[in-house]
Amino acid sequence: DVKVTQSSRYLVKRTGEKVFLECVQDMDHENMFWYRQDPGLGLRLIYFSYDVKMKEKGDIPEGYSVSREKKERFSLILESASTNQTSMYLCASSFSQENEKLFFGSGTQLSVL
Amino acid sequence: GEDVEQSLFLSVREGDSSVINCTYTDSSSTYLYWYKQEPGAGLQLLTYIFSNMDMKQDQRLTVLLNKKDKHLSLRIADTQTGDSAIYFCAESHTGTASKLTFGTGTRLQVTL
């Protein structure tokens, strides 16, 4: 089975801190994604990557950046955390651009105080 | 842009059927998906239907698609407590994972 692992289940950070959320997948998937999940809003795509060192903006990229130095790892970076970035962050991967079957990690609940 | 809507909450008794509904606005949707999120977990793909199909059945799950009304439903027969979760529908019209639009999610509560 595909495993998508997010490094932290819960994180508490202060406003203005730089925050790194890490995600690793073990099935050699080309595509990796970062979503945020908020009650009543569903999932919104922040960034995705279809290859090493490649990235594309999703629907809500403002305030975020990403890094994909290795195929298995995709990092989400909050350059200067703000309270409105308090959310559940979900990482996902898929085999290829044409394959929409997403495999999700269990999520990181980030609280920015 | 595309919009996918679901009701937020559904409560059913164990053993009854559950019907979770979803409406979408993009008439060119090609694939429609149902994902399940159990407490404390990420989403997992339950089933999907291609837009040229009206119905798909997979054990206790039945997916119905009314393309004219842009309405998708997921029926769970003989609902069990283990079915308690949030269910998301998602649609895509381009056949690429980066273009999935998710609904707001429906929380299903199964009572004894």
Does position B1 have pLDDT exceeding 60, yes or no?
Answer: no
Q: How would you class B90 by CB atoms within 10 Å of its CB: exposed for 0-12, middle for 13-18, buried for 19 or more?
A: buried
Amino acid letter, B71: H
Chain B residues closer than 8 Å to A90 by CB? 42-43
Predicted confidence band of residue B55 (pLDDT cuts 50, 70, 90): very high
Answer whether A36's CB lies under 8 Å from A45's CB. no
Give one DSSP letter per residue of B10-63, joined into a string: EEEETTS-EEEEEEE--TT--EEEEEEE-TTS-EEEEEEEETT-SEEEETTEEE
Minimum distance, in Å, between the CA of residue B51 and any CA atom of chain A: 15
Looking at the complex, does the CB of residue B100 fall below 8 Å from at least one CB of chain A?
yes
Amino acid letter, A77: I
Chain position carrying tokens 């429906």: B106
Looking at the complex, does the CB of residue B88 fall below 8 Å from at least one CB of chain A?
yes
| pLDDT tens for each residue of A14-46 | 999 999 999 999 989 999 999 999 988 889 999
- The phi-psi region of residue A94 (left if phi > 0; otherwise alpha if psi is between -120 and 50; otherwise beta) is beta
Choose the closest CB to B97 out of A4, A102, A104.
Answer: A102
What letter would DSSP give residue B93? S
| pLDDT tens for each residue of A74-83 | 999 999 999 9
Longest dimension (CA), chain A: 39
Q: How would you class B29 by CB atoms within 10 Å of its CB: exposed for 0-12, middle for 13-18, buried for 19 or more?
A: buried
pLDDT at residue number A100:
72
Predicted confidence band of residue B92 (pLDDT cuts 50, 70, 90): confident
